[in-house]
Chains A and B, each alone.
Chain A
Amino acid sequence: MMTIELEQHIDPTLIPILETVSDPEIPVLSIMDMGVVRSAQIEDDVAKITITPTYSGCPAMDVIGDDITTAFAKENIKAKVSLVLSPAWTTDWITPRGREALEKYGIAAPLNEEADKEALLGGKKIVKCPQCGSINTKMISQFGSTACKALFQCNDCLEPFDYFKCLK
């Protein structure tokens, strides 16, 4: 287990392969847009990839690791995937394209830290419903269908939806 990887080092030629791998829980989001890939380099003909978990217990990590190995195998490249814990993943690493994909998929993208607190703790109506765009929404539960999400409901269109919690 490798635990620290201070800066992101990604070989640009490997990006197209990495972009074919998505989060199994959120299939519209590639792992690149998710910001979980910390490094990707070819060393001695082996692609060495390090990824960082969104949450410690995120069950998607094992699947993502396997999916990366499979994606590289398709290109006849051997890949070795390891996990890094530090620096810890933050929702700031989700790319603008990733945020857009989340919204389209029906998951409200994370607000900034302060607004997130106001939404989750102060009950302030600022989380936008991804279905109808209304901000007349309410939190149903701080914990949603996965550890990274909270459950909301829109008071206008009445649809429940997930909000991706801000993690700093």
Chain B
Amino acid sequence: MKNENKIQYIYGIADNALILGQRLSELCGHGPNLETDIAMTNMALDLLGQTRSYYQYVAQLSGEDKTEDDIAFLRTERQYKNVLLVEQPNRHFGYVIARQFFFDAFHLLVLEELQNSTDQTLAAIAKKGIKEVSYHQRFSSDWIKRLGDGTEESHQKVQEAVDDLWRYTDELFHITDDDKIAIENEIGVNTVAFREKYDQIIREVLEEATITIPETKWFQKGGKQGIHSEHMGYLLSDLQYMQRTYPNMKW
């Protein structure tokens, strides 16, 4: 497998962690209360930590004089391969939780498979990440239930969020050409194989949360090809500002 294909494959996993980590970081100091604020920034930190491990590996694979910072901050929008779901804005707490819930269930399943990758570095990053992401999944599932089965208003807000975000869930299982090559080489994860399991997890939690599962069959995709929603540009300008303004700056 060519390094370039492997790098693209890794972007498909790592960019999700970076972009969702960035979205959660935006909430630092703005959470609905102190505990949830801390929880969300904790999760952001986990995701950004995982991102660093992936990007350090990419930097090493690229063979060029690149650093993890170049990869995180200096790519153009189309070069980011995250799914549309994770770039959706923090509309309200229920929305943040619903986005997190849809992603966490998927993320954990990916890492559980990725730990068996024949690529030892990816397997090591996955093994480490599983411990963290299982906490995230617990947190978001608990909150979905609490809000869904909570007050009339919290129920309605989560229901609307689920209805709105549902269209982005199918893309999680979209297989790109780079994914295909990675799967053939036993480096990557065949997400389609655990689709049913994912659907079941989502269904069970939503049912317990008294949330109606949307029936729409219309889904949006594009992020994995680098075609993002209008929110992505704003997110990136925030993310990249320091590095673009002060090139090569370091903490």
The answer to whether A and B assemble together is yes
B38 within 8 A of A: yes
Further 18 A-B residue pairs, CB within 8 A, beyond A57-B52, A146-B42: A1-B60, A3-B121, A3-B124, A4-B124, A56-B46, A56-B125, A56-B128, A56-B129, A57-B46, A85-B53, A85-B121, A86-B128, A87-B127, A140-B35, A141-B35, A141-B39, A142-B138, A143-B42
Known: A1-B57, A142-B135. Is A85-B128 also a contact (CB below 8 A)? yes
Are B38 and A88 neighbours in the complex by a CB distance under 8 Å?
A: no
When C-beta atoms are compared, the residue in chain B nearest to A148 turns out to be B42
Task: Report A-chain residues with C-beta under 8 Å of the C-beta of B35.
Answer: 140-141, 143, 151
Of B39, B48, B123, which one neighbours A143 at CB under 8 angstroms?
Answer: B39
Number of interface residues of B (CB under 8 A): 30
Question: How distant is the Cα of A144 from the Cα of B132 in the complex, in angstroms?
Answer: 14
Question: How distant is the Cα of A23 from the Cα of B38 in the complex, in angstroms?
Answer: 20
Question: How distant is the Cα of A121 from the Cα of B36 in the complex, in angstroms?
Answer: 17
Are B131 and A142 neighbours in the complex by a CB distance under 8 Å?
A: no
Question: How distant is the Cα of A59 from the Cα of B123 in the complex, in angstroms?
Answer: 22
Closest approach, in angstroms, between the C-beta of A41 and any C-beta of chain B? 21
Of A4, A56, A168, which one neighbours B132 at CB under 8 angstroms?
Answer: A56
When C-beta atoms are compared, the residue in chain B nearest to A56 turns out to be B49
Question: How distant is the Cα of A167 from the Cα of B129 in the complex, in angstroms?
Answer: 11
Are A55 and B38 neighbours in the complex by a CB distance under 8 Å?
A: no
Are A86 and B123 neighbours in the complex by a CB distance under 8 Å?
A: yes
Interface residues of A in 44-81 (CB under 8 A from B): 53, 55-59
Are A145 and B38 neighbours in the complex by a CB distance under 8 Å?
A: yes
Task: Report B-chain residues with C-beta under 8 Å of the C-beta of A144.
Answer: 38
Closest approach, in angstroms, between the C-beta of B195 and any C-beta of chain A? 27
B93 within 8 A of A: no
Chain B at the A interface: mostly helix, strand, loop or mixed?
helix
Are A86 and B131 neighbours in the complex by a CB distance under 8 Å?
A: no
Chain A at the B interface: mostly helix, strand, loop or mixed?
loop
Closest approach, in angstroms, between the C-beta of A2 and any C-beta of chain B? 9
Interface residues of B in 23-44 (CB under 8 A from A): 35-36, 38-39, 42-43
Are B131 and A88 neighbours in the complex by a CB distance under 8 Å?
A: yes
Point out residues on B near A: beta carbons under 8 Å. Answer: 35-36, 38-39, 42-43, 45-50, 52-53, 56-57, 60, 120-121, 123-125, 127-129, 131-132, 135, 138-139
Known: A57-B49, A151-B35. Is A4-B120 also a contact (CB below 8 A)? yes
Are B39 and A55 neighbours in the complex by a CB distance under 8 Å?
A: no
Question: How distant is the Cα of A11 from the Cα of B123 in the complex, in angstroms?
Answer: 29
A147 within 8 A of B: yes
Task: Report A-chain residues with C-beta under 8 Å of the C-beta of B135.
Answer: 142-143, 165
Question: How distant is the Cα of A55 from the Cα of B127 in the complex, in angstroms?
Answer: 11
Are A57 and B48 neighbours in the complex by a CB distance under 8 Å?
A: yes
Closest approach, in angstroms, between the C-beta of B117 and any C-beta of chain A? 12
Chain B CB within 10 A, most for which of A59, A85, A167? A85
Going nearest first, the 3 A-B pairs with the smallest beta carbon separation are: A57-B49, A56-B49, A86-B124
Are B139 and A142 neighbours in the complex by a CB distance under 8 Å?
A: yes
Of B43, B46, B120, B131, which one neighbours A168 at CB under 8 angstroms?
Answer: B131
Of A1, A4, A140, A167, which one neighbours B56 at CB under 8 angstroms?
Answer: A1
Known: A85-B128, A140-B35, A147-B132. Is A3-B120 also a contact (CB below 8 A)? yes
Question: How distant is the Cα of A135 from the Cα of B154 in the complex, in angstroms?
Answer: 34
A-B contact pairs, 26 of them (CB 8 A): A4-B124, A55-B132, A56-B46, A56-B50, A56-B52, A56-B125, A56-B129, A57-B47, A57-B49, A85-B124, A86-B124, A86-B127, A86-B128, A88-B124, A88-B131, A121-B138, A141-B36, A141-B38, A141-B39, A142-B135, A142-B138, A143-B39, A144-B38, A145-B38, A151-B35, A165-B135
Are B124 and A142 neighbours in the complex by a CB distance under 8 Å?
A: no
